């Protein structure tokens, strides 16, 4: 629902780690309002005031379990849920002509195809990481990979909290895609992930991935270029999930009145280099 010129932004999966951050980010952003907050049917938060459910003061926003109703009074939806849920939401968001901001990771090729098909007539902004810093890191990774030759071995290392369910992280895949784009190779052709046992020597031109899990780590990424006599190491450490949430709200605002299509945070942040496309995971 438009309240004056304020943009109505809904959050699905609002009880999740990111869902709660997203709701707070909408509430603190001038020019937007929280038009709805949805969880799965049967969740204990259904029917409760969102603020109280989150352990704070009442917000006057009641948690619902019908995304259709929530979408009907919104201009955008922030979706950091699961691949299956995101595919379903993409159909509903496109029908309602909402800007669908997707942070969900672990999406397979078939999921991406379904999202692209559903979103043909709507604006979809999707990124495995919504922070400014990581998106800058992808631009730097592509550039460094393009300049350093194949004698520099590329490894992407990530660490996340113990509850993370997908690996490598969406961010690690974005960085891998950026490195592959810089080298003008297809990431799938050069990926080395999950090494264990007698693996044989590293393949020439491989891009390796290592995933660490533990504790409450918000998200840490490094790209290592290991060459003869030196290593170039660039990285990003997230210490607060609000970083991602603010990026998502920025994307929802940016997407208003854009032509239908699939966009990434590279578009939102104005970092696209037409001469060097970087696919985003």
Ligand X SMILES: O=C(O)C1=N[C@H](C(=O)O)C[C@H](O)C1
Ligand Y SMILES: NC(=O)C1=CN([C@@H]2O[C@H](COP(=O)(O)OP(=O)(O)OC[C@H]3O[C@@H](n4cnc5c(N)ncnc54)[C@H](OP(=O)(O)O)[C@@H]3O)[C@@H](O)[C@H]2O)C=CC1
Residues forming the annotated binding site for NAD(+)?
A: 13-18, 103-105, 127-130
SS (H, E, C) the chain: CCECCEEEEEEECCCCHHHHHHHHHHHCCCCEEEEEEECCCCCCCCCCEHHHHCCCCCCCCEEECCHHHHHHCCCEEEECCCHHHHHHHHHHHHHCCCEEEECCCCCCHHHHHHHHHHHHHCEEEECCCCCHHHHHHHHHHHHHHHHCCCCCEEEEEEEECCCCCCCCCHHHHHHHHHHHHHHCCCHHHHEEECCCCCCCCCCCCCEEEEEEECCCCCEEEEEEEEECCEEEEEEEEECCCHHHHHHHHHHHHHCCCCCCEEECHHHHCCCCCCCCCCCCC
Work out how close the CB of 221 gets to ligand X at its nearest, in angstroms, rounded to a whole number. Answer: 7
Report the site for ligand Y in 125-154 (rule: CB under 6 A): 127-130
Closest residue to ligand X: CB criterion: 219
| Annotated binding-site members | 13-18, 103-105, 127-130, 161, 170-171
171 counts as binding ligand X under rule CB under 6 A: yes
Nearer to ligand Y among residue 78 and residue 148 (C-beta): 78
With CB under 6 A as the rule, give the number of residues binding ligand Y.
Answer: 25
193 counts as binding ligand Y under rule CB under 6 A: no
Q: Which of the residues 160, 196, 221, 236 is marked catalytic? A: 160
Is 43 part of the annotated catalytic residue set? no
Q: Which of the residues 100, 114, 164, 236 is marked catalytic? A: 164
Footprint of ligand Y (CB under 6 A): 12-13, 15-19, 38-40, 43, 80-82, 85, 103-106, 127-130, 170, 244
Footprint of ligand X (CB under 6 A): 105, 128-129, 160, 164, 169-171, 219
Which residues does the annotation mark as catalytic? 160, 164
């Amino acid at each position: 629902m438009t309240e004056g010129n304020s943009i109505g932004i809904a959050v699905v999966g609002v009880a999740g780690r990111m869902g709660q951050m997203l709701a707070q980010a909408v509430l603190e952003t001038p020019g937007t309002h929280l038009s709805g907050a949805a969880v799965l049917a049967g969740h204990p938060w259904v029917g409760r005031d969102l603020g109280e459910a989150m352990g704070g003061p009442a917000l006057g926003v009641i948690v619902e379990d019908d995304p259709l109703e929530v979408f009907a009074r919104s201009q955008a939806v922030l979706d950091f849920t699961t691949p299956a849920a995101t595919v379903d939401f993409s159909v509903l968001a496109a029908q309602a002509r909402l800007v669908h901001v997707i942070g969900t990771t672990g999406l397979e090729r078939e999921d991406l195809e379904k999202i692209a098909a559903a979103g043909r007539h709507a604006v979809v902004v999707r990124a495995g990481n919504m922070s400014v810093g990581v998106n800058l890191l992808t631009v730097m990774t592509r550039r460094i990979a393009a300049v350093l030759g194949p004698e520099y071995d590329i490894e992407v290392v990530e660490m996340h909290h113990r509850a993370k369910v997908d690996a490598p992280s969406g961010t690690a895949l974005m960085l891998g895609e950026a490195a592959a784009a810089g080298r003008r190779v297809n990431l799938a052709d050069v990926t080395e992930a999950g090494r264990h046992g007698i693996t044989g020597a590293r393949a020439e031109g491989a891009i390796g991935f290592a995933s660490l899990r533990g504790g409450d780590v918000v998200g840490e990424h490094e790209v290592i270029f290991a060459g003869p006599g030196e290593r170039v190491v660039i990285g990003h450490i997230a210490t607060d999930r609000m970083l991602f949430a603010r990026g998502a709200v920025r994307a929802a605002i940016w997407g208003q009145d854009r032509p239908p299509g699939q966009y990434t945070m590279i578009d939102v942040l104005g970092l696209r280099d037409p001469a060097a496309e970087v696919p985003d995971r």
